A = this chain, B = another copy of it.
């Protein structure tokens, strides 16, 4: 049987399985989903075992890693390591979902559910590709190792140690990662690199409790105002990050790299249509838009909250303010170094009182 025929005949079965996979709320960031994470890891391990692979769920200090291998091609054949992650982002805000986040629904030929595009969909494609190949053609010409983690959305904190401790087990000739975007549906893309991440939480504590703004306003530091001021001072008017030393390790692109950005077959209009907002609105002044997004480090507030945010008015000076702030890093920027510089700078901005 041809591979195409097998894929065609199995389509419904594969889709049903994917829906089952997407149903497990494997939100790595939320501790209440710890059990779901384990359940999801076991589900993936079961699928690998069904493929005839040696498969195991490996505990870490955080969420487990699923590992499986099929070495049937023999020692002289090349080995391919496929990476993916079975954890997903939190689903809030819930009222923005047109259909429930863990019940896959198909609209206009696209399947919608948390994780379809990042990264359960891809994990599933890799597994089903192997399944279809084995069914249609038998043993594949390469040895295959699957490494699926459960902490990608929270910074892959335990993955590095696992890799260091299992260099022989993970040895391969090529590593495949598909947790990356395609430029457009018509342009299959190979991603050369992704920016790294430092994620920080800034918490300001002011009064011992929320205070009446009429009786205290003008007399006490308002943590929300103070936080806004700190956030503002993290970037200058030209869109550059103001943390001292932040750009020390950043290298400029070479002419060939710059040309390749300009040759990329997507336009600013494509980007703006997808983002729903102008591509030229932010980032470093004078830097080509794709370079800003792909090759320059950035700083963004990912969330912030303070005081009363419900319906109507509440005239308080909030006792606290919090912001989640992340920086995207480029080659040669050391996350530990950037974190230290961020902390020192934010402390220097903290107001008295």
Q: Which residues of A contact B (CB under 8 A)?
A: 28-31, 89-90, 92, 96, 153-155, 181, 194-195, 197, 199, 206-211, 213-222, 224-225, 227-229, 231-233, 235, 271, 275-284, 289, 292-293, 296, 298-319, 321-324, 326, 328, 351-353
Contact = CB atoms under 8 A, between A and B. Distances in A.
Contact of A328 (B209, B214, B276, B281): B214
Contacts of A314: 29, 89-90, 153, 302-303, 324
27 contacts: A29-B313, A153-B315, A154-B313, A195-B214, A197-B214, A199-B315, A209-B276, A215-B293, A216-B275, A217-B299, A218-B282, A218-B296, A219-B279, A219-B289, A221-B281, A222-B282, A224-B231, A224-B300, A224-B323, A225-B231, A228-B232, A232-B232, A278-B352, A280-B353, A302-B308, A303-B309, A304-B306
Contact of A220 (B235, B281, B296, B308): B281
B90 A218 contact: no
Contacts of A301: 222, 224-225, 228, 306-307, 318
Copies in the complex: 2
A324 B307 contact: yes
Contacts of A317: 300, 302
Nearest to A227: B228
A311 B277 contact: no
A90 B216 CA distance: 19
B228 A154 contact: no
Given A281-B353, A300-B217, A305 B309 contact: yes
Nearest to A284: B218
A225 to B, nearest CB: 5
A219 B279 CA distance: 5
Nearest to A322: B309
A220 B275 contact: yes
Contacts of A31: 311
Contacts of A207: 275-277
Given A208-B276, A213-B328, A214-B328, 14 more contacts: A29-B314, A90-B308, A92-B308, A197-B315, A213-B300, A217-B293, A217-B328, A218-B298, A224-B231, A225-B231, A228-B304, A280-B353, A303-B314, A305-B306
A213 B324 CA distance: 12
A298 B207 CA distance: 17
A235 B351 CA distance: 14
A352 B281 CA distance: 6
Nearest to A213: B300
Contacts of A304: 224, 228, 304-307, 309, 321
Give the one of A92, A195, A220, A232 with max B CB within 10 A: A220
A23 to B, nearest CB: 21
A195 B218 CA distance: 12
